[in-house]
Amino acid sequence: MLSRHSALALQGVSGGELEDLCAQAVQLRKQHYGERLTYSRKVFVPLTTLCRDDCGYCTFVQRPGSPGAKVMTPAEVMEVVQQGQQLGCKEVLFSLGEKPERRYQQARDALAALGYQRMTDYLAACCDQVLEQSSLMPHVNAGTLDEDELRLLKPRCLSMGMMLETMSRRLLQKGGAHYACPDKVPLQRIRTLERAGRLQVPFTTGILIGIGETWDERIDSLLLINRLHAEYGHIQEVIIQNFCAKPGTPMANYPEPSLEEMLRTLAVARLLLHPSISLQAPPNLQQRYGHYIQAGINDWGGISPLTRDYINPEKAWPQLELLAAACAEQGCLLEERLALYPAYQQQPGFVEAAVQARLAPLCRADGLAQHQCLAS
């Protein structure tokens, strides 16, 4: 494993040295994951586009009064879920803005009309509905959560997630990517990661590359995640996501990270993180699949045959057939996994009994998805 000192020294590594670094990362992936890459077949449910934060790169968030500002109804949620079930999806990813009811009357009114005061309570009810009326299993990505909220959601989902993004406080300053974002204060996100660890919630987190963080801050973010995993054992995957500049946002003209920058970061992440942590990179944000595989990733994250990537709506999901072919070119097999990685499926503290019972029919013996579906 890399030390912090060695990782810091790899800033700017390129050419043959970068190839050597990637080869080491691939070697480590092979030791722990064999010749297999995975993805999760899912539907994305943007439960609300309202959010109290103002991230400089975000087009998901909609301000009150704008046509896209809304809270989905239970019927709208289930329509997506039922269609996803017909298309072989196993996971519902609930993604939503952070605590909009604390800032906007429109959010409070929408929740009141549904019979709720807090978005988390409505989210929990939607998870219950999914479990009662479909074979899909929820994965919840609701941002920062307190202990009560995590306790409420844990029995209702297979896993949860929240990107750390960065541990840099500099980005909270005026002009920074996280200016005016109370939920992007690193300490708040670290506390959520710690609480999830104490409660044994299988958790996805990750870092955002190219939003103004330095190489050192990037390394320290990965080390922080690693430390939390060493203490609690709950980080099942880390996403390395490249920033994409979007028209109409304050960061529209901000430079995007290069492919080389991504490969360098991916390989270092593979070598820094505990190898039991799955390393994931979204395939729709950079279509150089073979390069990513050569940098040591073992997972592509969620891909949907139905719903778009609401966070990056301009980036279409890849054809699964193309992704499988790219994996095959690198000597790897693409396989479908569930929202809970095999290593966590038999750990009682991490899986509630009710969830485990629901999980069994979806799993094959090695913990990956029963009834694999690799068609778009």
Which residues would be at the binding site for ligand SF4 (CB under 6 A)? Answer: 51, 53-55, 58, 60-61, 97-98, 181, 183
Q: Cα separation of 375 and 372, whole Å?
A: 9
β-partners of residue 157 are none
Q: Cα separation of 87 and 344, whole Å?
A: 26
Radius of gyration for the alpha carbons in the chain, expressed in angstroms and rounded = 20
**Which residue reads 């996501």 in tokens?**
241
Nearest to 209 by CA among 175, 165, 253, 173: 165
Q: Are 158 and 369 in contact (CB under 8 A)?
A: no
Q: Are 333 and 37 in contact (CB under 8 A)?
A: yes
Q: Are 2 and 271 in contact (CB under 8 A)?
A: yes
Q: Are 140 and 127 in contact (CB under 8 A)?
A: yes
Q: Cα separation of 286 and 292, whole Å?
A: 9
Strands (E), the chain: 36-48, 91-96, 137-141, 159-161, 203-209, 235-242, 278-280, 299-303, 333-337
Nearest to 155 by CA among 134, 141, 138: 138
